[in-house]
Amino acid sequence: IMLAQTLHWTISPIRCCWNVACFVNQYSMPKCSRYKSVLSSTGLKYDIETKLYGQHVAAQVILKAVTGFMESENPKKPLVLSLHGWTGTGKNFASQLIAENIYKKKMRSRFVHLFSVTAHFPHKANIDTYKTWLQEWIRSNVAICPRSMFIFDEMDKMPPGLIVSIKPYLDFSDYLDGVSYRQAIFIFLSNAGGKMINEVTMKFWRDGREREEIQLKDLETELSQSVFNNEDSGFWHTSLIDKKLVDFFVPFLPLEYKHVIQCGLTEMAGMGHTPDNNVVKRMADDLIFFPKGERVFSDQGCKLIANKLHFYI
Ligand SMILES: Nc1ncnc2c1ncn2[C@@H]1O[C@H](COP(=O)(O)OP(=O)(O)OP(=O)(O)O)[C@@H](O)[C@H]1O
């Protein structure tokens, strides 16, 4: 136990159950059924439709997928969503909105597990250890709360092969070592495929077509193929895609100038200021947009806005 404890504290940034205190802590955790873990479908609909800007495809898919899954009494497998897109387009934000409408304590809920790949799995050489931790982490937490949510940020930086270790939990199996994973939600976030999504969106714009004409079918197949064939996607040639264990590949479109303005106004209000179009426009005008000459799509989405705004207020 002492050796495991030493390993745990020196290498592992995430909690595992190789030490007694952690084991006791996890197994003395309250059952999630005592807490709210049912979906507020009206809350999710409201949040996705009013707070997530410029993402009509993702909004529709997320709403249908999450609502359908949460309303199903006996889902055949856990819900597995893979969100893809350029930086700052709202992938983390959308996952937050989902968690906020399921768990009372929102992202702070002990039933929501956010893994940042660069922070939690930084060294490729430790992949075998990570596999064991990750499996044990998921197994022990789903045993406590079947309605657990696991979010993996920066999937494109995931050491190849690691994600395959959790494949059995994403599958159609009923009970695995006495634990059923069918109520769990897995969300993968990745920049992989972002370039392809940007190109499709840009083509619609160049062809003079409305952004809102873009549909899931214009992107999903190509997205899953590009993720499967991209060595840096975290999913490279994994059986997760082959075996159709990912329910939806959700594309996040590059944000336009008007969406950046919307984000800016929301941020200003959130900071306790009266939203001011002129202030936000001054900030937006200093940001980088592409294509270079036309300045249509934001290079950093809405990501840096919260910090940048201080300079303009
Ligand atoms: N589509 C959007 N609608 C509203 N706000 C947004 C949107 N996209 C981003 N934001 C704002 O910008 C912040 C950063 O976005 P977020 O972290 O969700 O981007 P991301 O797509 O996950 O980026 P990355 O790929 O770099 O992790 C969010 O917390 C939110 O405040």
pLDDT in tens, the chain (313 residues): 444 444 443 344 344 444 444 444 455 555 666 555 678 889 999 999 999 999 999 999 999 999 999 999 889 999 999 999 999 999 999 999 999 999 989 999 999 999 998 999 998 889 999 999 999 999 999 999 999 999 999 988 888 788 888 888 988 877 888 899 999 999 999 998 899 999 999 999 999 999 999 999 999 888 877 776 666 656 655 666 666 788 999 999 999 999 999 999 999 999 999 999 999 999 999 999 999 889 999 999 999 898 999 999 8
Between helix 41-51 and helix 56-71 the angle, nearest 10°, is: 170
- Closest atom of ligand 1 to 305 CA is 12
CB-ligand 1 contact for 236 (6 Å cutoff): no
Distance 258 CA to ligand 1 centre (A): 15
* 240 Cα: distance to centroid of ligand 1 (angstroms): 26
Burial class, 193, CB count within 10 angstroms (exposed 0-12 / middle 13-18 / buried 19+):
buried
Superfamily of domain 34-252: P-loop containing nucleotide triphosphate hydrolases (3.40.50.300)
- Widest pairwise Cα distance in the chain: 65
Domain locations along the chain: 2-30, 34-252, 257-312
Instruction: Give residue 208 CA to ligand 1 midpoint distance, Å.
Output: 26
Write out the DSSP string of 152-172: EE-GGGSPTTTGGGGHHHHSS
CA of 305 to the centre of ligand 1 (A): 10
Residue 146, pLDDT score: 92
Determine whether the shortest distance from the Cβ of 55 to ligand 1 is under 6 A: yes
Instruction: Identify the pLDDT of residue 245.
Output: 85
Tokens 């609909």 -> residue: 45
For residue 254 and ligand 1, the question of a CB distance below 6 A is answered with no
- The CA distance from 58 to 92, in Å, is 12
- Give the per-residue pLDDT at 20: 47
- Ligand 1 atom at minimum distance from 262 CA: 4
The binding site for ATP consists of 85-92
Given ligand 1 and candidates 188, 302, 305, which is best to mutate, with the most ligand atoms within 8 Å of its CB?
302
Q: What is the pLDDT of residues 238-265, one digit of tens each?
A: 666 666 788 999 999 999 999 999 999 9
Q: What is the enclosing helix (H) or strand (E) of 141?
A: helix 127-144
Amino acid at 293: G
The pLDDT tens digits for 121-179 are 998 889 999 999 999 999 999 999 999 999 999 988 888 788 888 888 988 877 888 89
- Average pLDDT of every residue of the chain: 86
Three-state DSSP class for residue 289: strand
Which ligand 1 atom is at minimum distance from the Cα of 86?
Answer: 25
Ligand 1 neighbourhood includes 302 CB (under 6 angstroms): yes
Ligand 1 centre to CA of 132 (Å) is 31
**Residue of minimum CA distance from atom 18 in ligand 1:** 90
Task: Decide whether any atom of ligand 1 lies within 6 Å of the 52 Cβ.
Answer: yes
User: Residue 256's beta-bridge partner residues?
Assistant: 297
**Six-digit token pair at 114?**
């956010």
Query: If you take atom 26 of ligand 1, which residue's CA is the nearest one?
Result: 87
What distance in Å separates the CA atoms of residue 153 and residue 65, rounded to the nearest whole number? 20
N-term to C-term CA, the chain: 55
